Chains A and B, each alone.
Chain A
Amino acid sequence: MKNEPMILGIDTSCDETAASVVQGMRVLSNVISSQVELHRKYGGVVPSVARREHELRIDPVIKEALRNAGKILESKIGLEDLDAIAVTCGPGLAIALEIGITKAKELALQYHKPLIGVNHMEGHLYSPLALNSKGKGPIKLNEVDFPVLSFLLSGGHTELVLLKSHDDKSIVGQTVDDAIGEAFDKVARMLGLGYPGGKVLSDMALKGNAQSFKLPIPMAKDPSLNMSFSGLKTAVYYQVKEIEKVRQLSAQEVMDMAACFEKAAITQLQIKLKKAIKQYNPKMIMVGGGVSSSVRVRAGLRRVAREFSLPIYFPSLKNIYTDNGAMIAIAANFKFRNKEFSDQALDRQPNLDLA
């Protein structure tokens, strides 16, 4: 394991400023900006640091990532000790991506390290391969059996991806409107559960009756592997609106609606996953993205996998579901092996596709 490359991964694709150090598939540190304290650095409390202030956060985040990795290895880690610097180059918000890329280029130049541009979606896709600092995880790299069907479920992504090999990936199905995590967050807001409330919506759903409201299952009859969540969200909205004309929803009704919404969303995922399995005969299923941390979503997808006697893997580390730098460094491993390095011309690609 000692011989595996040590890579710094940086992600600034959207809201979070994130950095991580990995050695092979082993995550030595994984820092996201919301954990790092800017207070001390700025000598007092920053009254309101706006989100996406990546310029302000990137240096302390990288420093913390190196420091935490050093604690694991019980020796100080500096940028000079790295084998490569990886950064998300897309898809994402242009002005946000820019900050990470500029920083990565600067460090690569200064420390004479290879630079690796990584697709954010590949990061999520490979997140179940992340091992903890002791080298333990749901699945080892050499256990990956192709073809793999990967399901990305997050606030910004809802994609079914087919991997024929590590170098041959294609999107075979995707949302035609809202991402699933976005729909969870917006429905939570309609139910008065704050924003972003996807997580609390899932918590509430556990105590609700999933039979109490009638909601549509979008795209159930659609022959493609594409998905849709906007119509479901709208259906919740107008049912809530109708009730609220007369009175407020009770606590139980909120939990019931959460359960019904979650069930309809999961049913759609199950239908599409089954269809994709029949179409592509994968050997295993991998799931990534923030929504895959929901207990019911996991159970729902597991049920489908069991039906086809397929193994299914979810990310297992803390902070590896949502946007993070570790998954970027993990995905960079493949490019490192093939010596697919980027040069100083590396540019942001806000619309980057999987190819």
Chain B
Amino acid sequence: MKSLVMIRLDLKVKKSEEILKQAISVLNKGGIIIYPTETCYGVGVRADLKEAVTKVLEYKRRPEGKAVSIAVTGPDMADRYVDLNQTALDIYSRFLPGPITVISSSKHKLDKRLEAEDGTLGVRVPKYDLLLDLIKALDAPITATSANSAGKRTPYSIDILLSDLSQSQRDSIALIIDAGELPHNPPSSVIDTTKQELKILRRGSFSVGNRILTEEIHSDILMQKLGARIMSSYKSLLETRPMIVMFNADLGAGKTQFIKGMAQELGVTQIVNSPTFIIMKEYEFPLRQDKGRLIHLDAWRLESVQELKKLKLEQYFKPKHVIAVEWAGMARDYLAQISSQKDLIRLYIEIEYLDLEKRKVAIYEE
């Protein structure tokens, strides 16, 4: 294909219908355009043309495997290319069009090189009428990535952009829509909607074994005291048996307070704080002449039983060990299965939110 000659259209001079017409013609031929957005200048090709995508990846000089977002007109068009879950739909309706890139699971309808390694795709609905008109008329998404190459200045004006580009990059551009110097708005914020689905591990209901206690708790301190009380009635058994305590409760219900109480009773001197980020924390406590260990696990960030298996919890199922698992929910079956052979003390604790101050705690023993 003979290389196109770069055309620079000034929005202040040319009529927008005329610009649209030219842009559509370039894009349909697989050409590269530079366009203004509410953040900075972007580089676009039709995202559904493989050769055009190759061109834009070459232009960006980014290693393959780095995702490139697409721009669409709204949720209806996005739905053709990604799975929109409730979180995504809420974001589209509340915040878009606007400077936000929404990450969703890809339907793999477009070139895979646009997707991230985990099969997700970023989608933008730019708050820029000319661009939305263009995508609508095209009836196809265009790539939405800033027009600079990796590591170069954010392009708020065409002159800055062009001075940072190499000759071959400049040559690959077929059309520039120049809207002058853009307001220096920061790049779009990224919202990942794929990692917060309540996947299998987090929720589920217990109701197993014998209920040994139901109590209403009115403060954090009382929740700690309850944890200590429960621990004290099992502590003497730890010499010969391990113990696992599984929690099923909402955010902010008081799980950590309960576990703090358990730890205090066991004689843990360190501060027991949230293991959410590193998933699992270990604490030592004195037990007669020996040492015991408290394992504090938070399954919140785990997405599959497979991930839980990798933690090899079985190694802790021995006397003098207490394992407390937050967000045990549906991991219960797995945990019950791997602990079934052993002479384990098994407690299930459900904490229910009644009101701002009040929680209902139910404890089951199996």
Contacts and interface: CB of A to CB of B under 8 A. Distances in A.
- A and B held together in a complex: yes
A247 B307 CA distance: 36
Given A176-B271, A196-B195, A38 B117 contact: yes
A136 to B, nearest CB: 16
Interface string A68-112: 000000000000000000000001111100000000000000000
A62 B191 CA distance: 29
B74 to A, nearest CB: 16
A194 B118 contact: no
B272 to A, nearest CB: 8
Contact of A37 (B65, B91, B95, B307): B65
A345 B165 CA distance: 51
A178 B283 contact: no
B281 A351 contact: yes
B64 interface: yes
Contact of A196 (B63, B87, B192, B273): B192
A177 B256 contact: yes
A175 B273 contact: yes
Contacts, number: 132
Contact of A92 (B63, B276, B278): B278
Interface string B259-279: 000000000001101101111
Given A192-B87, A195-B195, A351-B281, A39 B117 contact: yes
A211 interface: no
Interface string B232-269: 00000000000000000001100010000000000000
Interface string A221-234: 00000100011011
Contact size range, B: 35 or more
B312 interface: yes
Given A194-B192, A230-B256, A234-B251, A179 B64 contact: no
Contact of B274 (A49, A91, A179, A189): A179
Given A49-B118, A179-B273, A199-B189, A40 B251 contact: no
Contact of B65 (A14, A38, A91, A177): A38
Interface string B285-300: 0000000000000000
Given A45-B119, A175-B273, A200 B282 contact: no
Interface in A9-48: 13-14, 34-40, 45-48
B168 interface: no
A174 B117 contact: no
Contact size range, A: 35 or more
Contacts of B281: 350-351
B274 to A, nearest CB: 5
B145 to A, nearest CB: 16
A40 B65 contact: yes
A197 interface: yes
A200 B189 contact: yes
Interface in A194-213: 194-197, 199-200, 203-204
Interface of B is mostly: loop
Best-buried of B112, B193, B252, B271 by chain A (most CB within 10 Å) = B252
A200 B195 CA distance: 15
Contact of B273 (A37, A176, A350): A176
Contacts of A177: 256, 273-274
A190 interface: yes
Given A93-B278, A182-B277, A194-B103, A204 B64 contact: no
A13 B278 contact: yes
Contacts of B273: 174-179
A351 B100 CA distance: 38
B276 A351 contact: no
A181 interface: yes
Interface stretch (A248-256, A275-283, A305-313): A248-256
Interface of B: 63-66, 87, 90-91, 94-95, 100, 103, 112, 115, 117-119, 186, 189-196, 220, 251-252, 256, 270-271, 273-274, 276-283, 303-304, 306-307, 310-312, 356
Lowest 8 A-B CB distances belong to which pairs? Answer: A37-B65, A234-B252, A156-B277, A195-B196, A203-B189, A194-B191, A251-B94, A200-B189
21 contacts: A13-B278, A35-B66, A45-B112, A45-B115, A50-B304, A91-B278, A92-B278, A94-B282, A156-B277, A174-B273, A178-B273, A179-B276, A189-B196, A192-B91, A193-B191, A194-B191, A194-B193, A194-B195, A233-B252, A238-B252, A350-B282
